[in-house]
Amino acid sequence: MAKPFDATLNSLIDLRPGDWAGYFAHLTGIPSGPWDSLDTDLATTLQADRLFRINGPKPALLHLELEANHRLGVPRELLRYNTLIDHLHDLPVETVLAVLRPKALASDQNGLYTRTGVNGGVIAQFRYRVERVWERDVAYWLRGGIGLAPLALLTDEAGANLESAFDRFNRYLLNSGADATTTTSVLGSSFVLCGLRYEHEQVAEMYRRLGMLLEDSTTYQALIREGRERGLTEGRLETAHSLLIRQGTKKFGPPTGAAANGLSAISDLSRLERIADRMLEATGWDDLLQTA
């Protein structure tokens, strides 16, 4: 994943991977069955977001990629992932691109990637599923289980009446039967993910009101502080990545291949700053990304 908000999304998937495997496998038509989470390292410079083996009547692989930011060229990357996964596991592979907010949807993310030859003839076509999270209703994501529940707050329905959607989300958590640790983790993740669509103060006010419903206000305030800190960190990382790509593109051209993957994998803000400091003296993207 290795993109802004990736830590939050990873924690949600790790919390209840079965929720994600089952729900997205259903979207692709993979028959339901027991699931296994597989290694996502596909090659030296490639790592998929999530990969599941679904051991139903017809075993298949679910490849899930999540996008929170606008990027052209993703379908080409998906084809590379899909091909490598097929080669490594020798099973049918269904790829889903889950786009988390409208501004992240690029013009080439239409579910079909076509490779053409020098004369314009079609060499290969690759079909994948595009799941636009915001187009579903609140209930749809709440039905997916506690691991998927925060996505309900990213829907257009929630955007039209965030307070109502948040109340439904809160009631779902209270009635889910989840333990305090799980509930706290989901609340913290939802606080950060709301930063994808809403102003910080709007979200913070709802969480402050929620605090009055929680038995341990000290724990709640600690949760809010943690969520704010995580949200601020994610925001700074997003800004640093965007600035570095803009500056580097002007000097070296757009990052591609290993350079693009290497850049997106950097989650250390101080390292991004050191890389930016070397921009003028570097000879190219590969040289620039050697910065420790």
Are 142 and 50 within one domain? no
User: Do both 24 and 108 map to the same domain?
Assistant: yes
Question: What integer pLDDT is reported at residue 21 of this predicted model?
Answer: 94
- Which residue range(s) make up the domain with 173? 138-231
Model confidence at 231: pLDDT above 60: no
Residue 215: inside a domain: yes
67-83 residue pLDDT tens: 999 999 999 999 999 99
Residue 22 placed within a domain: yes
Do both 28 and 116 map to the same domain? yes
The per-residue DSSP string of the chain comes to --STTHHHHHHHHHH-HHHHHHHHHHHHTPPP--EEE---EEETTEE-SEEEEE-SSS-EEEEEEEE-S--TTHHHHHHHHHHHHHHHH-S-EEEEEEE-SGGG--TT-SSEEEEE-TTS-EEEEEE-EEEEGGGS-HHHHHTT-TTTGGGGGGSHHHHHSHHHHHHHHHHHHHHS---HHHHHHHHHHHHHHGGGTS-HHHHHHHHHHHHTTSS-HHHHHHHHHHHHHHHHHHHHHHHHHHHHHHHHHHHH-S--HHHHHHHHT---HHHHHHHHHTTTT-SSHHHHTT--
Query: Residue 48 falls within a domain, yes or no?
Result: yes
**Last residue of one domain, picked from the residues 68, 102, 135:** 135
Tens-place pLDDT, residues 232-243: 556 566 666 676
More confident residue, 180 or 39: 39
Report if residue 274 sits inside a domain: no
Maximum CA pair distance of the chain?
Answer: 68
The answer to whether position 165 is within a domain reads: yes
Query: How many other C-beta atoms are found inside a 10 Å radius of the C-beta of residue 239?
Result: 13
The residue from 108, 135, 162 where one domain ends is 135
| DSSP string computed for 130-141 | EEEGGGS-HHHH
Does residue 130 share a domain with residue 21? yes
Which pLDDT score is estimated for 247? 73
Whether the pTM exceeds 0.95: the reply is no
Asked whether residue 34 falls in the same domain as residue 115, the answer is yes
- Give the position of tokens 């990736």: 6
Does one domain contain both 44 and 11?
Answer: yes
Backbone angles phi, psi at 285, to 5 degrees: -60, -45
Partners of residue 63 on adjacent β-strands: 51, 95
Do 120 and 58 have their domain in common? yes
Question: Residues 131, 10: one domain?
Answer: yes
Last residue of a domain, one of 106, 135, 164: 135
Specify whether the CB–CB gap between 240 and 276 falls below 8 A: yes
Query: Span 56-76, mean pLDDT?
Result: 94
Q: Judge if 129 and 63 occupy the same domain.
A: yes
Structural domain count, the chain: 2
**Do 120 and 226 fall into the same domain?**
no
Whether 2 shows a pLDDT value over 50: the answer reads: no
Indicate whether 168 and 114 sit together in one domain: no
Tell me, yes or no, whether 175 lies in a domain.
Answer: yes
Banded model confidence at residue 227, pLDDT cuts 50, 70, 90: low
Report in angstroms the alpha-carbon separations of 252 from 74, 94, 242, 249, 290: 20, 35, 15, 5, 15
Q: What's the pLDDT tens digit per position in 126-144?
A: 999 999 999 999 999 999 9
Residue 100, domain member (yes or no): yes
* Residues linked to residue 41 through DSSP beta bridges, in sequence order: 47
Look at 137-141, 166-170, 288-292 and tell me which has the smallest mean pLDDT. 288-292
Looking at the structure, do residues 42 and 125 belong to the same domain, yes or no? yes
